[in-house]
A and B are shown apart, each in its own frame.
Chain A
Amino acid sequence: MNKKADEKYLSIWWFLALALTGLGIVLAVVIFNSADVNTNNLEAELLNDKIAGCLTKDGNFYEKALEPGFDIYDYCKLNKNAFNLGSSFYFNITIYKEGVLLNYTLGGDRSFEADCRSTAKISAKHYPKCKSTSTGITDKDNNVYIIEILTASNQEGEKVAITR
């Protein structure tokens, strides 16, 4: 007689087990679909390589980059609007010759510089991904220039609703 009463109580646990299984499946699918493919580190590397490449001409340092009025955006084919205040990108170029600072150029969101220093030591999810390089390059007269380039990207992309 107690056995019959036990079966009635067991059916509640069965529903609970089903509910938990269903919840687990739904959660797994939602987590999978909300996964973000983050390419910010690749963007920072590409930007760094692009700038480094355009400051070199025929294997030598492009000295005109030191002239006043040199437009890095125009010469390196960078879109100026992508580096306005509040943008998702940042670059910082420092050029030294024999330990003397010759030129300092930056563009984009300047707060990324401090963020890059933080993320050098720890990993943080919504912080920019950074790339820092320091290259020695000579000019035609064999003068050595040190070019330090720091680039960062924190772009997230956006889902856009289309209204007709």
Chain B
Amino acid sequence: MKKMVNKKADTIVLETVIFIILNIIFFVTMMIFVFRSGTSSYVYEQTYAKQIALIIDNAKPDMAIMFDISDLDDFLEKNNFPINEVFSIDKQNNKVFVKLGRNSGYSYRYFSDYDIELKANSNRLNIIVRNKS
């Protein structure tokens, strides 16, 4: 009789332990997925490209605009990505190109006909606007 009772208790404990472990596995998996998705570069690329294009279209010749990019510091440090490769201008097609990944980036067009120069350092992007010669 005692042996039967112990066997039933063992089964209950085992079931409970398995239940808890499966729950932990599920929630840890969800946390990893959410955390990795939250650091996705696509949203940053899109936001910065559009902001820079708007700044260029709103600017006048011989203006120099300092744009705060300190939000990118953690991202670049974690991914070991050089700051001078992030921002570029496609002068032929008048597009801003922002690259935060090794294999892809995001481009956005501006409609103004200026000569644009971008200079990035750790927490600031200098946008220099000049007339085309």
Contact = CB atoms under 8 A, between A and B. Distances in A.
Given A79-B111, A89-B111, A162 B106 contact: no
A78 B112 contact: yes
Interface size class of A (residues with CB under 8 A): 35 or more
The 10 closest A-B pairs by CB, nearest first: A79-B113, A157-B108, A82-B111, A29-B37, A46-B57, A79-B94, A39-B50, A77-B113, A161-B104, A160-B107
Given A37-B50, A42-B54, A79-B113, A25 B33 contact: yes
> SS class of chain A's interface: helix, strand, loop or mixed?
helix
B49 interface: yes
A77 B112 contact: yes
A43 B58 CA distance: 9
Interface of B: 19, 23, 26, 29-30, 33-34, 37-38, 40, 42-43, 45-47, 49-50, 53-54, 57-58, 61, 93-94, 97, 99, 102-114, 131
Contacts of A50: 57, 112
Contacts of B131: 77
B26 to A, nearest CB: 6
Contacts of B109: 82, 88, 155, 157
